[in-house]
Structures are given as structure tokens and as C-alpha cells.
Amino acid sequence: MFNVPPVVVATVVALIAVHAFRMLVLSDEQDLRFLLTFAFVPARYDIDLVSGGSFPGGFGADLWTFFTYAFLHADLLHIGVNIAWLLPFGAALARRFGAWRYAAFVLVVAAAGAFAHLFTHRGAMVPMIGASAAIAGAMAAALRFVFVPGGPLELWRGGANSDAYRVPAVPLLATLRDPRFLMFLVAWVGLNALFGFVSVPIGGEGQEIAWQAHIGGFVAGLLLFNAFDPVRGQKFDVRRSR
């Protein structure tokens, strides 16, 4: 967290810049149009609800809102919490993937979160915003390699070196059986359940956690990690891990 990769710094700057632009430059009416153009609105894809020209942006927005919603936030608390989660997990992922793979991966898992939200909120008019689904995907990907022997977490024990992010990851099934991963997963799912099922408001009245999008981003991060991971090496030997 104290030596954040430039691409993660750029991500944070982009999130803050977009929020500052909305708060300081746009009027309320302009901001509403901005939200309808760049936030993810499930009703946009419901033919029975949407007539021609109902949402600004047209066909282009039908595509880009799967990604651009992640750059929008409700208030300073919302963006602050997301940045706090992005810094450790995004930094770990960027150190392993490099800037371009990191950027592509984050956009893909953000889209996965939007698809999950669309599937569970068909016809909803309320816009979904926030980088949480993308960060959940980055978190899941980081958990695929941070626990391996010689990996990043050994930095805290003084056992890792500059090659900590180049250690080959274990297979997905091995990750799913790791007690440390399972403990983290239970805690994270519990937090999402608290804010989702109990409907605890975040960042103000009427703003709730889009937990389905979080789950979508997280699952995508787990499954797509290998497709983006540049680290190649010997396959994980189950016999040596015992």
C-alpha cells in the first residue's frame, strides 16, 4: 500500500476526477443526464419498458455502461471505501499482471458484475454505480496467488523477495480448499449479506449495496485469473504441498 503501482494511482485519480467533475462542474440536471448516460440501468435493456430515445447515449451507451458505471460514485464515503479496498488488492494485481493486463482485467470483471446485476434486476430503473464489483474481481484474483509459499503475504514475515509476485499460482480447486481463502470468503460474503439482505443503507438514504454485482465480479475474478495471469511455471504438485 505504501508503494502503489502507477496504474493503480491512475485508477484512483480517475475515480476522484470523475466524482469531482460531477460535484463541482455539473448542475443537478446535468448530473442526472450524466448518470443516465454512464451509469448502469437495467431498464435500458428491457424492450417492454424502453421506447426509442428513453435513455441518452443510444446504442453506444448500451455497450459502454457495462464499464463506465464503475467510475461513478454516490458520495465521498462511497468512493473512499472503494479506494481503501482498491489500494491493497489492486496493487497486488497490478504488480503481477502489469498495467495493461490489470486494466483489461478490471474492465472485464466490472462488466461481469453488471451482467450479474442485470440478471437479478431486470427492468430496474435505479442506476447502479461504483467500482465495488471490479474491486471484488481484483480481490478474488489476488487471492489466487497471495497465499502461495514465497508469495506476497510472506513479505510480512520477512520471507519474500522481489520475486514474490512471480510465484506460480495454485490451481483454482486448491485455492477453494485453502482454509485462509475460505475464511476470507465467509467474512466477505457475510458483509455483503449484511448490507444486501438486511438493507443497511450506505452513503445516505436509499443507497444500498448491489451485492449481486459484487458476487458476479468476484466469481469472474476467480475464473478468469488464469486467462490474464502472465506468470507461467511448473504446475502445482499436490504431493509437494502436503
Q: Are 69 and 109 in contact (CB under 8 A)?
A: no
Helix intervals (H) in the chain: 6-24, 28-38, 58-68, 76-97, 99-120, 132-143, 172-177, 179-197, 211-228
What is the per-residue pLDDT across 203-216, written as a single tens digit (0 to 9) for each?
444 456 788 899 99
- Residue 39: other Cβ atoms inside 10 A: 21
**All residues at 6 or more sequence positions from 149 whose CB lies less than 8 Å from its CB, including other chains:** 167
Q: Residue 34 and residue 28: Cα distance in Å, rounded?
A: 10
Which pTM was predicted? 0.85
What is the per-residue pLDDT across 136-183, written as a single tens digit (0 to 9) for each?
999 999 999 988 887 787 655 444 455 788 888 888 998 999 998 999
Burial 159-184 (b: 16+ CB within 10 A, else e): ebeeebbbbebbeeebbeebeebeeb
Q: Residue 137 and residue 217: Cα distance in Å, rounded?
A: 5
β partners of residue 128: 40
Burial 186-221 (b: 16+ CB within 10 A, else e): eebeeebeebbeeeeeebeeebebbbbbbbbbbbbb
Q: Are 178 and 147 in contact (CB under 8 A)?
A: yes
- Between 226 and 165, name the one with better pLDDT: 226
Q: Residue 231 and residue 46: Cα distance in Å, rounded?
A: 41
Q: Residue 105 and residue 221: Cα distance in Å, rounded?
A: 8
CATH of domain 6-241: 1.20.1540.10
Min mean pLDDT across 72-86, 125-139, 141-155, 173-187 is at 141-155
Q: Are 84 and 59 in contact (CB under 8 A)?
A: no
pLDDT value at residue 54: 74
Residue 232 has pLDDT above 80, yes or no: no
**All residues at 6 or more sequence positions from 124 whose CB lies less than 8 Å from its CB, including other chains:** 41, 42, 43
- Domain positions in the chain: 6-241
